[in-house]
Amino acid sequence: QVQLVESGGGLVQPGGSLRLSCAASGSIFSDNVMGWYRQAPGKQREMVARISSAGNTNYVDSVKGRFTIARDNGQNTVYLQMNSLKPEDTAVYSCNLETGWGSKWYNYWGQGTQVTVSS
């Protein structure tokens, strides 16, 4: 069983910065992808940023140049550095882990952390 524990959410003013962390534990295979998704009220959940065990990253266009995703050396923690925050970034941010081998691929989610960008 895999558990994901998120931290770092909160209230920040427009133009400010916030750093989210997600610590993963359990049976994590070497082949995996960790990422951050967000969902605002009345909107679909969207992928914000992802990083693979190989270090490959991808971002939704709206955060490119502002957000950076990274992993620690043990690949058990993923970070999302969010700069130049905008009100439209306000959402519940959830950590995601996809891991497995062969034809078996598992998907895990954290509990979510609220990010509010407002004056």
pLDDT at 73: 67
pLDDT at 100: 86
Task: For 66-115, write each residue's pLDDT tens digit.
Answer: 999 999 967 689 999 999 999 999 999 999 999 988 888 999 999 999 99
Q: How far is CA 40 from the centre of its chain?
A: 15
CB 79 within 8 A of CB 19: yes
| Dist. CA 32–CA 52, nearest whole Å | 6
Residue 12 pLDDT > 90: yes
